[in-house]
């Protein structure tokens, strides 16, 4: 009795939260494992029509509760527009024109985009606005971006230590570096002045764990890790990082729930399907030959495409039940990455798809953080982005068709491929790249 009382006193709030989430997730997986095959197929189906209805309604009108996101309206545009683009659906002509007009009114006369008309220009909302306009595509959207003044704004945000401020008198962090460099790159205005010493700042943010923090001395974080790696790739300095430590940290973030957590000892969250999962797509582009420690969560699968449609529980992971409540997605082993684009994913892509489709997807439309949470446009965007990353994770590159076995559930689940650095649909990126290379 005394030992039980001591154990109860030692149980932390974090442990209780973790056990509660695991219980909710495993109940869903138990249900999935014990229903007929036809029901499993339905449970794994991407609810395209419902997602599209949810997203389109958000472009038309938002409820009064969204007033708290008044300074994030370009983000709402991006989350919704990108999600629709991932589904491969067109935008209504009137809604497209309204979005372009609204974003143009968010553009500051001196460069950059604010959170709404008349608001202070901010690197985060500048990134969201530019990605929204790239996603919309076409001359009207792309010509609306004043690249000259935007370049001036980026230079004003540049700091002596190589980093960037988010806005005038704002915070300095890795997120600011990524949004500035990403925007400059996709608009073809990235120059030596903007890139100078950015890599030194990001290196100062890589922690002993291997992940990247928002600023020096802080804790490694999935979102900042993605931002740091993507930035280092854009300035061609990725090989300066501790890549072995980086990969070891990222693979360790995929847990027994099959999804990713954002930080060590934190709860699983659907949005990290992209923030953590997207790091693997970036690493795949690197040509490195160093020993790397990573979780051998890909199992012993070959690349034969003969298993198309085999989406039952026993066929998802082979015989080892990896990444259900009977297994673990974080068992360690060693391998070497040698710069070949046809390597197996360094994460369990099927398990992550399972978490997204069964635990994050809301049947009535939209995606959520985890079971028990409400849907929102942010998680819808990054769950779909992560799902796309998974589906193409076995492909030679983003332009290659995915292997049939790489898509969990029916083939109708297949999404458009994304450019992993910018997180815009690949064909929209190519259109923008061509446009800004010749204009």
Break the chain down into helix, strand, coil percent, rounded to 5. Answer: 50, 5, 40
- Structure tokens that stand for 61 in this block: 């009108």
Residue 297 above 50 pLDDT?
no
* Confidence at residue 100, expressed as pLDDT on a 0 to 100 scale: 98
Catalytic residue list: 221, 263, 266, 269, 271-272, 369, 376, 379
CA atoms within 13 A on the CB side of 45: 14
- Structure tokens that stand for 148 in this block: 């000259």
Residue 37 above 50 pLDDT?
yes
**CB-based burial label for 364 (10 Å; 0-12, 13-18, 19+):** exposed
* Confidence at residue 401, expressed as pLDDT on a 0 to 100 scale: 84
Share of the chain above pLDDT 70, in %: 85
Please give the mean pLDDT across all residues of the chain. 88
Residue 6 above 90 pLDDT?
no
For residue range 370-397, what is the model confidence (pLDDT) as tens digits?
999 999 999 999 999 999 999 999 887 7
Residue 27 above 60 pLDDT?
yes
For the segment 48-72, the average pLDDT, to the nearest whole number, is 96
* Confidence at residue 304, expressed as pLDDT on a 0 to 100 scale: 37
For residue range 413-427, what is the model confidence (pLDDT) as tens digits?
999 999 999 999 999
Cα 368 to Cα 44: distance, rounded to the nearest angstrom: 16
For the segment 156-165, the average pLDDT, to the nearest whole number, is 98
Q: Let me know the angle formed at the C-alpha of 224 by 344 and 67, rounded to the nearest 5 degrees.
A: 120
Specify the residue for token string 């809604």: 95
Residue 339 above 50 pLDDT?
no
For the segment 24-52, the average pLDDT, to the nearest whole number, is 97
* Confidence at residue 4, expressed as pLDDT on a 0 to 100 scale: 58
* Confidence at residue 5, expressed as pLDDT on a 0 to 100 scale: 56
Strand 424-425, strand 418-419: pairing: antiparallel
What 3-state class would DSSP assign to 217? coil
For residue range 87-145, what is the model confidence (pLDDT) as tens digits?
999 999 999 999 999 999 999 999 999 999 999 999 999 999 999 999 999 999 999 99
* Confidence at residue 32, expressed as pLDDT on a 0 to 100 scale: 97
Residue 164 above 80 pLDDT?
yes
* Confidence at residue 418, expressed as pLDDT on a 0 to 100 scale: 96
Alpha helices in 44-172 (DSSP H): 48-60, 73-86, 93-106, 123-136, 139-143, 147-157
For residue range 167-197, what is the model confidence (pLDDT) as tens digits?
999 999 999 999 999 999 999 999 999 999 9
Q: Let me know the angle formed at the C-alpha of 193 by 434 and 138, rounded to the nearest 5 degrees.
A: 20
* Confidence at residue 343, expressed as pLDDT on a 0 to 100 scale: 60
Residue 8 above 70 pLDDT?
no
Determine contact, residues 221/272, Cβ cutoff 8 Å.
no
- Phi first, then psi, for residue 419 (nearest 5°) are -80, 115
CA 254 vs. chain centroid, Å, equals 14
* Confidence at residue 439, expressed as pLDDT on a 0 to 100 scale: 77
- According to the per-residue pLDDT averaged within each range, which of 269-283, 321-335, 387-401 is highest? 269-283
For the segment 19-27, the average pLDDT, to the nearest whole number, is 98
What radius of gyration, in Å, describes the C-alpha atoms of the chain?
A: 22
Q: Comparing 137 with 3, which gets the higher pLDDT?
A: 137
Determine contact, residues 404/392, Cβ cutoff 8 Å.
no
């Amino acid at each position: 009795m005394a030992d039980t009382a001591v154990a109860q006193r030692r149980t932390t709030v974090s442990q209780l939260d973790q056990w509660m989430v695991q219980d909710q997730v495993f109940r869903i997986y138990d249900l999935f494992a014990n229903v007929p095959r036809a029901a499993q197929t339905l449970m794994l189906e991407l609810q395209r029509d419902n997602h599209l209805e949810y997203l389109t309604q958000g472009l038309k009108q938002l409820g009064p509760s969204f007033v708290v996101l008044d300074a994030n309206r370009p983000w709402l545009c991006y989350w919704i527009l990108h999600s629709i683009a991932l589904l491969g659906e067109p935008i209504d002509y009137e809604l497209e024109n309204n979005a372009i007009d609204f974003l143009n009114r968010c553009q500051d006369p001196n460069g950059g985009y604010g959170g709404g008309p008349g608001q202070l220009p901010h690197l985060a909302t500048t990134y969201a606005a530019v990605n929204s306009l790239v996603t919309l595509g076409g001359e009207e959207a792309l010509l609306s971006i004043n690249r000259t003044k935007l370049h001036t704004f980026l230079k004003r945000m540049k700091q002596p230590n190589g980093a960037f401020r988010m806005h005038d008198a704002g915070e300095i962090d890795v997120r600011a570096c990524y949004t500035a460099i990403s925007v400059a790159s996709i608009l073809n205005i990235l120059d030596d002045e903007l890139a100078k010493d950015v890599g030194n700042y990001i290196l100062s943010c890589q922690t002993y764990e291997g992940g990247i923090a928002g600023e020096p001395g802080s804790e490694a974080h999935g979102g900042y890790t993605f931002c740091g790696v993507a930035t280092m790739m854009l300035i061609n300095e990725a090989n300066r990082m501790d890549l072995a430590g980086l990969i070891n940290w990222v693979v360790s973030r995929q847990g027994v729930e099959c999804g990713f957590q954002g930080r060590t000892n934190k709860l699983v969250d659907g949005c990290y399907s992209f923030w953590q999962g997207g790091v693997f797509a970036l690493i795949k582009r690197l040509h490195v030959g160093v020993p790397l420690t990573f979780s051998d969560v890909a199992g012993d699968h070959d690349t034969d495409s003969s298993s198309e449609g085999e989406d039952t529980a026993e066929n998802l992971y082979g015989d080892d039940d990896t990444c259900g409540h009977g297994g673990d997605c974080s068992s360690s082993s060693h391998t070497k990455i040698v710069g070949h684009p046809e390597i197996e994913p360094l994460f369990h892509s099927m398990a992550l798809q399972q978490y997204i489709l069964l635990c994050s997807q809301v049947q009535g439309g939209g995606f959520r953080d985890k079971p028990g949470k409400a849907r929102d446009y942010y998680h819808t965007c990054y769950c779909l982005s992560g799902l796309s990353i998974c589906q193409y994770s076995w492909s030679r590159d983003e332009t290659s068709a995915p292997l049939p076995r790489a898509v969990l559930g029916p083939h109708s689940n297949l999404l458009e491929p994304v450019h992993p650095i910018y997180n815009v649909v690949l064909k929209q990126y190519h259109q923008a790249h061509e446009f800004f290379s010749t204009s």
